[in-house]
Amino acid sequence: NTEIYYDDDVDESYLANTTVAVLGYGSQGHAHALNLHESGVDVIVGLREDSSSRAAAQEDGLTVETPEEACAQADVISVLVPDTVQPTVYENAIEPNLEEGNTLQFAHGFNIHYNQIQPPEHVDVTMIAPKSPGHLVRRNYESDEGTPGLLAIYQDYTGDAKERALAYGKGIGCTRAGVVETTFREETETDIFGEQAVLCGGIAELIKVGYETLVDAGYSPEMAYFECMNEMKLIVDLMYEGGLGAMWDSVSDTAEYGGLTRGDDVIDDHVRENMEEVLEQVQNGEFATEWIAENQANRPVYTQLNQAEKDHEIEEVGERLRALFAWEESEQETESDDERT
Ligand code: NDP
Ligand code: MG
Ligand code: MG
């Protein structure tokens, strides 16, 4: 049975008289820094002298120092620069400034789990990982809602690691919605598997192959785009609100019968085996090793695939159609805004 922590389970005094260095002011960094600040926590944002994020953090009313200086002053160091640069930032700015009893706080377990960062024994190593992009972590906090999150403790030197992590989770608004306890290993491996097999990789391929199948059979690219890409959001919204049941209830009986009989012909046992193989490469570190080497080589494969994806015909068709139908979206937004007021 899964432990879930809410605001009432948290003693925020564990962050009293504590300075938190938030390294990075991107997606997660800006949200954590602003939410903690407004929760009454002493925050210093750590950014390079020439960082393009400096102006934004300063305009938002936060104290900004170099990563080195922020770490020197902090008791809790929240590592919110991109995963691929964290080992360098750790070596240059964090490690030289780690004092006994400090906390190293992460929002994803990659570098700890795959041993790219090896902290000394005399610090706590924790994770509070919001299960959402940063701009929603910020927006949910401002609207008094919360963002669900994960808690994990890798190292508990002080004996208070969990209490401090939960106080951090409350400070960014996660315990309003609920924080689930996990481990660095489970968070890292499920997160990476999910984005590869289902959320990012799986869905993008499903859409492209569906689109190509229709276009290759002579149907119009516009029809193929609507059917395989545009309607995806409507279907996923239904699942998000009420599970698969809400989706099946809301589509036609023809769609339900066809989907239930043909879905597993498409996503068949071979796809299941492929997913197991992808999971194995996550578990045995093969993917991590490949991605680290790819970065050290200045991303040759990434650069090529990133460009190929941009050049796919579906992107050009989509851009044209989204521009033509933009009026529809803004009308919908206005309607739902009216409903709220
Ligand atoms: P971003 O890519 O948004 O971080 C960008 C920030 O990092 C900028 O402020 C940038 O400043 C700074 N930065 C980049 N390189 C360096 C460097 N070498 N030294 C110092 N600062 C640098 O990161 P995310 O918010 O996406 O990710 C942060 C962490 O949160 C990761 O561990 C990620 O896995 C995790 N996470 C992310 C989620 C998301 O939705 N994005 C969701 C859940 C977890 P500069 O202008 O100097 O480049
Ligand atoms: Mg991820
Ligand atoms: Mg249909």
DSSP string, 99-138: -TT-EEEESS-HHHHTTSS---TTSEEEEEEESS-HHHHH
pLDDT band at 328 (very low <50, low <70, confident <90, very high): low
Asked, for residue 341, whether it belongs to a domain, the answer is: no
Residue ending a domain, among 126, 149, 182, is: 182
Do 28 and 164 share a structural domain? yes
Residue 338 has pLDDT above 80, yes or no: no
Do 170 and 135 share a structural domain? yes
Asked, for residue 339, whether it belongs to a domain, the answer is: no
According to DSSP, the residues that pair with 20 across neighbouring strands are 43, 76
Asked, for residue 75, whether it belongs to a domain, the answer is: yes
Helix 286-296 to helix 269-283 angle (10° resolution) is 70
Residue 337 has pLDDT above 70, yes or no: no
Asked, for residue 338, whether it belongs to a domain, the answer is: no
Do 201 and 165 share a structural domain? no
DSSP 8-state assignment for residue 41: -
One-letter amino acid for residue 323 of the chain: A
Asked, for residue 170, whether it belongs to a domain, the answer is: yes
258-276: per-residue pLDDT in tens? Answer: 999 999 999 999 999 999 9
Residue ending a domain, among 182, 213, 247, is: 182
pLDDT band at 2 (very low <50, low <70, confident <90, very high): confident
> In the structure, which protein residues have their CB atom closer than 6 angstroms to any atom of ligand 1?
24-29, 47-48, 51-53, 67, 80-83, 85, 89, 107-108, 129-130, 133-134
Do 224 and 78 share a structural domain? no
Do 215 and 173 share a structural domain? no
91 labelled binding-site residue? no
Do 115 and 51 share a structural domain? yes
Overall number of domains in the chain? 2
Do 127 and 237 share a structural domain? no
One-letter amino acid for residue 318 of the chain: G
Do 254 and 165 share a structural domain? no
Asked whether the beta carbons of 102 and 123 are under 8 A apart, the reply is yes
Residue ending a domain, among 133, 159, 182, is: 182
Do 217 and 85 share a structural domain? no
Ramachandran area for residue 34 (φ above 0: left; ψ -120 to 50: alpha; else beta): alpha
Do 45 and 155 share a structural domain? yes
Asked, for residue 50, whether it belongs to a domain, the answer is: yes
62-121: per-residue pLDDT in tens? Answer: 999 999 999 999 999 999 999 999 999 999 999 999 999 999 999 999 999 999 999 999
224-269: per-residue pLDDT in tens? Answer: 999 999 999 999 999 999 999 999 999 999 999 999 999 999 999 9
100-116: per-residue pLDDT in tens? Answer: 999 999 999 999 999 99
* pTM of the entire predicted model: 0.92
Do 225 and 126 share a structural domain? no
Q: Average pLDDT of 165-169?
A: 98
Asked, for residue 208, whether it belongs to a domain, the answer is: yes
Domain membership of residue 248 as a residue range: 192-333
> Which one is catalytic: 30, 32, 37, 108?
108
231 labelled binding-site residue? yes
Do 206 and 113 share a structural domain? no
Supply the pLDDT for residue 174.
Answer: 98
Residue 335 has pLDDT above 70, yes or no: no
